[in-house]
């Protein structure tokens, strides 16, 4: 006899059990596998146990509903970690919308330090699900990304914009910027061809890669096999080591 929910079923009748049928239909990803193996009584119990564990794992990896953290409404800088997929766009009113894997909900930290909004997951438990951060703000004066964050920044007009990236983070910038200050470490990536700047100062290390369009002065320091690609005809000042390269495209 086997109990599924509130229903007790004999093994031969398990596939026909309403509670069990509802369970596997709810988790349709495993449905075909379950039906195939449960036809063999020898492996049925093992398969059922595996299915239950997989179901629990899938539930843990789902994202929570989007939450509004717009009580933070005076920041001009952002600091995002923990691998969030991040969108930062220009808008007249600040808005912060965040969704995280359910297993990480209790350790989500959203704070404001001085003029910097800080978003991170402390003691991240999720192994595959990726949280999202969607920020609207009038002015962006700086950004820091770490821990594999993938960010898009769009629509801003500013004089100087410092961006720091680490831990394999990636950023795509589409804005109007006069001077770009870029620091990348740990295999990070920056795409800035859609944001031509006058001057850029770029520091790359640890196999990082950046694409920058500049018309005035481009100062580059690169180490550890990093790569800078650039467009335009800027005055180039470079200090390269460890097999790093600078390439005009």
Last residue of a domain, one of 31, 61, 91: 61
Which pLDDT belongs to residue 177?
99
Which of 14-28, 96-110, 176-190 shows the lowest per-residue confidence on average (mean pLDDT)? 14-28
Alpha-carbon dihedral angle through residues 174, 179, 180, 181, given to the nearest 10 degrees: -160
Q: Is the dihedral of CA 155, 71, 164, 150 positive or negative?
A: negative
Looking at the fold, whether 108 and 16 belong to one and the same domain comes out as no
Please state, as a whole number, how many other Cβ atoms lie within 10 Å of the Cβ of residue 97. 15
Looking at the fold, whether 206 and 220 belong to one and the same domain comes out as yes
Looking at the fold, whether 110 and 124 belong to one and the same domain comes out as yes
- pTM to 2 decimal places: 0.77
Task: Please say if the pLDDT value at position 20 is more than 50.
Answer: no
Looking at the fold, whether 40 and 95 belong to one and the same domain comes out as no
pLDDT bin (cut points 50, 70, 90) of residue 16 is low
Q: Give the separation between CA 109 and CA 79, rounded to whole angstroms.
A: 12
Q: Which domain holds residue 215?
A: 67-248
Looking at the fold, whether 181 and 244 belong to one and the same domain comes out as yes
Residue-wise DSSP of 161-192: EEEEE-TT-EEEEEEEEEEEEEEE-SS-EEEE
Q: Give the separation between CA 55 and CA 224, rounded to whole angstroms.
A: 43
Which pLDDT belongs to residue 35?
52
Looking at the fold, whether 121 and 22 belong to one and the same domain comes out as no
pLDDT bin (cut points 50, 70, 90) of residue 126 is confident
CB-based contacts of 93: which residues, under 8 Å, 6+ apart? 136, 138
Q: Name the DSSP letter for residue 101.
A: B
Last residue of a domain, one of 13, 44, 61: 61
Task: Please say if the pLDDT value at position 48 is more than 90.
Answer: no
Looking at the fold, whether 30 and 129 belong to one and the same domain comes out as no
Looking at the fold, whether 33 and 96 belong to one and the same domain comes out as no
Listed residue (107, 155, 175, 101) closest to 132, CA to CA = 101
CATH number reported for the structural domain that contains residue 217 in this entry? 2.160.20.120
Residues 156-186 pLDDT 10s: 999 999 999 999 999 999 999 999 999 999 9
Task: Please say if the pLDDT value at position 152 is more than 50.
Answer: yes
Q: How many domains does the chain have?
A: 2
Residues 58-67 pLDDT 10s: 445 799 999 9
Looking at the fold, whether 127 and 209 belong to one and the same domain comes out as yes
- Mean pLDDT, the chain, whole residue set: 85
Listed residue (142, 78, 83) closest to 110, CA to CA = 78
Looking at the fold, whether 57 and 83 belong to one and the same domain comes out as no
pLDDT bin (cut points 50, 70, 90) of residue 71 is very high
The H-assigned helical ranges of 2-133 are 18-26, 31-38, 41-61
Looking at the fold, whether 124 and 169 belong to one and the same domain comes out as yes
Last residue of a domain, one of 61, 87, 105: 61
Which pLDDT belongs to residue 40?
54
Looking at the fold, whether 8 and 88 belong to one and the same domain comes out as no
Which pLDDT belongs to residue 39?
53
Q: Is the dihedral of CA 20, 22, 26, 29 positive or negative?
A: positive
Which of 50-54, 145-149, 178-182 shows the lowest per-residue confidence on average (mean pLDDT)? 50-54
């Amino acid at each position: 006899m086997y109990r599924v929910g509130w229903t007790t079923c004999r093994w031969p009748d398990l596939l026909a059990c309403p509670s069990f049928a509802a369970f596997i239909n709810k988790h349709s990803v495993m449905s075909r596998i379950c039906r195939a193996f449960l036809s063999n009584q020898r492996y049925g119990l093992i398969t059922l146990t595996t299915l239950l564990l997989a179901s629990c794992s899938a539930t843990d990896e789902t994202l929570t509903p989007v939450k509004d953290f717009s009580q933070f409404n005076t920041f001009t800088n952002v600091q995002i970690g923990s691998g969030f997929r991040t969108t930062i766009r220009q808008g007249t009113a600040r808005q912060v919308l965040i969704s995280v894997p359910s297993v990480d909900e209790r350790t989500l930290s959203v704070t404001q330090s001085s003029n910097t909004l800080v978003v991170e997951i402390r003691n991240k438990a999720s192994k595959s699900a990726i949280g999202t951060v969607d920020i609207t703000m009038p002015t962006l004066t700086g950004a820091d990304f770490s821990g594999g964050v993938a960010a898009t920044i769009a629509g801003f007009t500013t004089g100087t914009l410092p961006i720091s990236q680490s831990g394999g983070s990636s950023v795509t910038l589409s804005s109007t910027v006069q001077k770009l200050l870029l620091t990348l470490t740990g295999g990070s990536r920056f795409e800035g061809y859609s944001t031509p700047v006058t001057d850029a100062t770029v520091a790359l290390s640890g196999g990082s890669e950046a694409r920058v369009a500049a018309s005035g002065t481009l100062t580059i320091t690169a180490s550890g096999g990093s790569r800078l690609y650039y467009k335009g005809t800027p005055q180039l000042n470079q200090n390269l080591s460890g097999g790093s390269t600078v390439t005009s495209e």
